[in-house]
């Protein structure tokens, strides 16, 4: 498991959530969390999908949105461990309402390579983030 650092995302409510970032191919133990699939590149951090799960060992890597993750180049997963289902759902909704990740809106990811390049060039899905230690 490769840890990439710690990042914070602010929800639409103004609440800040701190995430631990890992490479997408990391394997996790079974625990509940809010997770964010992210494309990290030279232009920054692009949020691809925001979800929550009771068992991180099964999701997000086995999520039904895998094709969309691949399509949008997700190469990292950010994790916010939280056992409470209601709170996970609230955080997921708070973050989705601010960032509108592509795979939450279009799970099939059915856009052309040209549309993908244009989208990232315009920074439509670029996250405002704070790197922490």
Instruction: State the DSSP string of 80-128.
Output: EE---HHHHHHHHHHHHHHH--HHHH-TT----HHHHHHHHHTTTTBPP
Separation CA 76–CA 40 (nearest Å): 7
Q: Which residues contact 40 (CB under 8 A, 6 or more apart)?
A: 4, 21, 46, 75, 76
pLDDT of residue 44: 83
pLDDT of residue 122: 43
pLDDT of residue 112: 44
Mean model confidence pLDDT for the chain: 80
Mean pLDDT by 10 residues, the chain (133 residues): 87 95 89 93 88 85 76 91 96 93 68 48 47 43
pLDDT of residue 20: 94
The pTM of this model reads 0.79
């Amino acid at each position: 498991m490769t840890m990439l650092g710690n990042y914070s995302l602010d929800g639409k409510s103004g609440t800040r959530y701190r995430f631990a970032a890992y490479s997408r191919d990391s394997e996790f133990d079974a625990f509940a969390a809010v997770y964010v699939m992210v494309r990290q590149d030279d232009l920054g951090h692009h949020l691809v999908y925001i979800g929550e799960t009771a068992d991180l060992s099964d999701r997000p890597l086995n999520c039904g949105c895998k094709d969309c993750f691949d399509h949008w180049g997700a190469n990292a997963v950010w994790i916010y461990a939280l056992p409470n289902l209601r709170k996970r759902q609230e955080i997921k909704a708070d973050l989705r309402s601010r960032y509108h990740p592509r795979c939450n809106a279009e799970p099939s990811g059915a856009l052309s390579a040209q549309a993908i390049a244009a989208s990232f060039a315009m920074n439509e899905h670029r996250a405002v983030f704070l790197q922490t230690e």
